[in-house]
Amino acid sequence: MNGAYKTVKLDGSTYFRASITYKNKHISLGSSPSESAANSMYIAASEVLKGRLGIEDYSDNNILNFSIWVTLINFRDNNVYFKTPIYLRKKYFLYYFSPEVVFKFDTDDLFFYSQHRIQARGKHFFCENYGAQVSLSSRYGIRPFAVKDRDYRFLNGDDTDYRYENIEIINKYYGVEKVTKKFDTLYKAKIHVNGNYSLGTFESEDTAAIAVNKAIDMLSKTSLKKKRMYSNFIEHIPASSYADIYSSITLPEKFMELIRSHLAE
């Protein structure tokens, strides 16, 4: 049968691979224990490549995997083959995680997502990169446990639209929140340890972040639990300047009492 190829497993059992050649590109469509099912994959792929079926025409009873369906339609329409379920638009591209969940990305990210498949654990979306799980949000400057609409927001309200122009980082550092008083923008530093502790309000976002780092350093010497605490990485400040700012910060007495009360435990 067309498009079906018999293959033998190591244990001696057989199954059938389905594939199709289009525009001189050999495309794997999947495998099946039966030759007729593999042939049906080939027939379905032929109908997609030679017809006008769109991504929205996919149904749950389709014999082709949804990811392959998207790949075939993009190849047919845009003459570019990707292994991941990408569909190119003029100035951006769509990544079809599922028929219901579709991400938008700038073309600058095309190489990455054409090489890395998006995965999910619950509502957490991530990619495997050099053996590590990298969340989608962290690729765009959204720190772990950041709160939507407080620390960041999607300007058009679509939280699947990861185009750079659509993402606004409001508070880029852990424990730092931007506050506005009259015409001034200030930065409030705080930390949560058995309740919220204010660490002060600063004119500089970087200084507020360093205050949080200093508080975390002090907490590391106590018996207090420090879950979900992340030291802020401030790469644009030289080490000597960082040390000067760090040493100049005096943390509030209420927080220092907390530190002293747990040093001996």
Residue 70 resides in a domain: no
Decide if pLDDT at 64 tops 90.
yes
**Over pLDDT 70: what percentage of the chain?**
98
Same domain, 9 and 54: yes
The predicted pLDDT at position 12 comes to 80
Last residue of a domain, one of 137, 152, 170: 170
Query: If you average pLDDT over every residue of the chain, what do you get?
Result: 92
Q: Domain span at residue 257?
A: 176-263
Q: What is the pLDDT of residue 132?
A: 85
Q: Please report the pLDDT score of residue 224 as a whole number.
A: 80
Q: Do 165 and 100 share a domain, yes or no?
A: yes
**How much is the pLDDT for 67?**
97
Residue 14 lies in a domain: yes
For 76-93, the pLDDT digits (tens) are: 999 999 999 999 999 999
- Residue 4 in domain: yes
Same domain as 92, residue 60: no
- Are 157 and 237 in a shared domain? no
Tell me, what's the pLDDT at 11? 82
For 127-156, what is the mean pLDDT? 90
| Domain boundary, last residue among 170, 187, 220 | 170
Q: Indicate whether 205 and 255 sit together in one domain.
A: yes
Question: Bridge-partner residues for 5, per DSSP?
Answer: 17
Is the same domain home to 196 and 132?
A: no
Assess whether 184 and 248 both reside in one domain: yes
pLDDT (average), residues 101-112:
97
Tell me the mean pLDDT in the region 95-107: 97
Structural domain includes residue 220: yes
Domain shared by 124 and 139, yes or no: yes
* Domains in the chain, number: 3
According to the 3-state scheme, what is the secondary structure of the chain?
CCCEEEEECCCCCEEEEEEEEECCEEEEEEEECCHHHHHHHHHHHHHHHHCCCCHHHCCCCCCCCHHHHHHHHHHHHHCCCCCCCEEECCCEEEEECCCCCEEEEEHHHHHHHHHCCEEEECCEEEEEECCEEEECHHHHCCCCCCCECCCEEECCCCCCECCHHHEEECCCCCCEEEEEECCEEEEEEEEECCCEEEEEEECCHHHHHHHHHHHHHHHCCCCCCCCCCCCCCCCCCCHHHHHHHHHHCCCCHHHHHHHHHHHCC
The radius of gyration of the chain's CA atoms, rounded to the nearest angstrom, is 26
Same domain, 146 and 181: no
Q: Which residue has the higher pLDDT, 265 or 100?
A: 100
| pLDDT per position as a tens digit, 185-241 | 999 999 988 889 999 999 999 999 999 999 999 998 888 866 667 889 898 999 999
Whether residue 69 lies inside any domain: the answer is no
Residue 249, both tokens: 């910060």
Does the pLDDT at position 265 exceed 60?
Answer: no
Quickly state the pLDDT bin for 94 (edges 50, 70, 90). Answer: very high
The reply to whether 75 falls in a domain is no
Looking at the structure, do residues 102 and 132 belong to the same domain, yes or no? yes
Mean pLDDT, range 163-169, rounded to an integer: 96
Separation of alpha carbons 261 and 254, rounded Å: 11
Residue with tokens 């993402």: 167
- Same domain? For 30 and 59 the reply is yes
End of a domain among 128, 154, 170? 170
Whether residue 71 is contained in a domain is answered as no
Q: 153 and 112, same structural domain?
A: yes
Domain assignment present for 113 = yes
Average pLDDT over residues 27-50: 93
